[in-house]
Every structure is written in C-alpha cells, then in structure tokens.
Chains A and B, each alone.
Chain A
C-alpha cells in the first residue's frame, strides 16, 4: 500500500483538466494588500504543471510533498536489483528556468542536465541511470559485507563507502572504498594493538602495487595483506543467539554509544529471563530503568527484584554505577 498524499497537498489549487504542455498563463495578481514585501508566490500554472508531471511519473511513486504544497517532492525509485531509493526533488522559486536540486542516499549525486523544457520525469530517468552506474559499487560493498567480518557500520546505508573490518586479536582495518572505482585500491587505516599490526602494515606497503582491479575485492585484500581474513561470526547456536538477541525493552541489540551509560555504552544484551519458555534478553540498564519505574519493585542492598515484563517470572538486576 502506498502512503497517502499528505493533506498539505490539498491546499494547492488543481484543475482537473490540466494537460501536459499546457501554456503558462499570465499571472493575474489581484490588488496586493498593503504589506511590506509579501513572500514570493508561485504562478497558478506552476501547480497544474507539477501535477501533470507527477501524473506522468505515477502517483504511486510519490512518497511525500512538502514546502508550499509541492516545492519538495520525494519519489520512490527502485533500481534493477530491487533496491528501494528515495529521491527528493526540490523545486526552487525560479523553476522551471532554474533547475531543481536533488537529494538521495547515494555515495555521490549525479549532475542533472536541465533545460527549461525538461520535465521531472527526466530527473527520475537521470537518477535511474545513475543508480545503474552505482550497481558495481553496491555489488562490491554487498560482497565485502557477506564475506568479511564487518564490525562497523552494523547496518550500512547505501551512501556509506567505509567499512571497519575485524582481523582478529583486536586488530582492524578501516577501508574507504572509491565509489567511482570500487575495485581499485582503497584507502585504509589500521587500528588496534601495535605488535600484531606491524606486520600487516609492512605487507600493505610492500604489496599494495599488486592490487588487481580484475580480481574480487576481498581476494585482493587477502593477497595484499598476506593474511587469512576471518569470516563473519556465525559459528555455534549460542554465539549466534547472543549476537542476534534484541533487548525486549528498547528493541536494539546494542545500547547507544553514550558517555552517560559509562561502562555499558554500546554493549549488547547482558541479562536473560530464567524462565525457559521466555528466555527474553535485555540490557541490564533497560531492565533496571524499567524496574525503577514501577511501584512493585523491591530492593535489597544493591539488587532490584521484580518481574519479567514478558512472563512475570522473578528477575533480579544489580544496581551499578551512579
């Protein structure tokens, strides 16, 4: 189901008989009230023209329209492999003589070719062509995410071209992939304890000339580092469960990285309900906050006693820190 067109769109004057290519009529402005510099207004033909162009593209693709009714349009664009993108088109006051500007979650934006006779559909087509060019980049990033142990970002956006890859023994390589030439040698930085990293840095400097743009990215990386890169962690059911458990209260795997949380900053769920039928996971911070917020919680020294929010079995959480 498509999201409904927001009510603000209804404010715009719309003529049912609006036709594509309709001649713009002169602005028959009424006697302006005696105000200081009223804000500039769109001619009436602007709205009928934009409506006709939206119809041309398809109302189903229109996600939202904001601004003075239709000055900022967001369209849903699906690329060939099926990735869904949101393209935001902003129509400046000088439109259509002035070109619209665009915004999207891509590593770089295309340069839009525009003349005053161009239509919004042309912008969509140019964006689709741009998405086609970016497929190689996204395929490379998808393969990296699949084959290597990515610790950051955990949920990459389409625009992100950096990856922090775990090499084991608390060593990491931070890569910046060139979105225009994704198979070329990436920029890289090494993070972690010096002892282990020294050899990797030496290998990188010595071998990076061997980077082969025809080989797969992760194969190149392993060859240049002369190192067996670890796979994403997925071994063992227990480890998998621990990795994937969301907190039953905040619905996140990891707490936000925040100074206020102290030692718990960014940590995974660390408490599990002991009822075998429940086994719900929580951050102890979230569970503690919940227990503190209800009146039935009991406290003994530095331990809070209460009931699981899901199954009501007893739970107990230590009060640590402030």
Chain B
C-alpha cells in the first residue's frame, strides 16, 4: 500500500508537469482518492472514432504496480475489443502482459493504438467483431462512427 501510494504520487506529479506534452491524453486524479483516476483520450485520426473524446476510468489495485490498473471505457464505443455495456477493454498489457514499466500515460497511448487497430479475433463486442471478420469494413466503420457521434461528441446547439 505504501509503495503503491508513493508511486502514484510520483505519477501524479509527472502528469501535472507534462500537462501539455500530449494533446491527445488528459489524465485526472480523483480529488480525494489517489487510487481513482479518469482519463480523456481523443479518438485517433483516420478512424471512425476521429473527433470523439472518450472517457476512461482507472481503478488502481493496492498491489499496483505489481498488478495492472483496471481500465474501462465510460463513454460508449463500438469496438470489437471493448464490451459495449461495461466498457471493459481486452488488451494484453492490462492483463497477462502487464509490467511495472507501463504508466497511465503509456496505457492511454496503448488504448488509442487499440482503437486504431482493432483485433476482431478476441472480441468483447460480438457484433463489431463479426462485422470485421466477415469483411464488412464499411458496416463496422459506419456503426462505429454513428456511436462516436452519439456518445463521444459534444452536442451542438
């Protein structure tokens, strides 16, 4: 507990110091709980998520960094590797491929990369995975773009 708290404070200071370094990622620590963070990530360009801002929730276990943070999407997203209802993310570095070398910033970067390169072979969203596996790229992109517009873009007017 003490070691994880100390590391989190260091990461927090690093995030504060490098606030403008990465315009695609914004990390926010809970006011009263260092073990709860949220992040806002921009949808990568040239993907159906472009123009969207997606919110992630980080729940950090006491054994962090020996165990990975639990990250899930709070914003609805149509993506084969993200559970549509729960926002759970199927990403190896958040599970068996975790290492203490990862930071919240680099985890967000990996999630952005996952958005740009979905893996339909291990889907959490079967509809999305099936579209891609059957070769219906247009259908997948159309659905993903629609949900991005619905859930990840600020309402106009």
Contacts and interface: CB of A to CB of B under 8 A. Distances in A.
B10 interface: yes
Given A6-B31, A293-B66, A251 B6 contact: yes
Contacts of B31: 6, 64
B85 interface: no
Chain A interface residue bracket vs B: 10 to 19
A6 B32 CA distance: 11
Interface string B99-113: 111000000000000
Of the candidates B3, B63, B65, B101, the one having the most CB atoms from chain A within 10 angstroms of its own CB is B3
Given A310-B99, A310-B101, A250 B67 contact: no
Contacts, number: 39
A252 B6 contact: yes
Nearest to A255: B3
The binding surface of chain B is classed by DSSP as loop
Interface string A284-308: 0010011001000000000000000
Contact of A252 (B7, B99, B101): B7
A256 B2 contact: yes
A107 interface: no
Contacts of A293: 63, 66-67
A188 B19 CA distance: 42
The binding surface of chain A is classed by DSSP as loop
B101 A251 contact: no
Contacts of A248: 100-101
A1 interface: yes
Contacts of A258: 2
A99 interface: no
B136 interface: no
Contacts of A72: none
Contacts of B63: 293
Given A6-B31, A309-B100, A310-B101, A251 B67 contact: no
Interface of B: 2-3, 6-7, 10-11, 19, 31, 63, 65-67, 99-101
25 contacts: A6-B31, A246-B10, A248-B100, A249-B7, A249-B65, A250-B65, A251-B6, A251-B7, A251-B10, A251-B11, A252-B3, A252-B7, A252-B10, A256-B2, A258-B2, A286-B3, A289-B66, A290-B66, A293-B63, A293-B66, A293-B67, A309-B99, A309-B100, A310-B99, A310-B101
Interface of A: 1, 6, 64, 246, 248-252, 256, 258, 286, 289-290, 293, 309-310
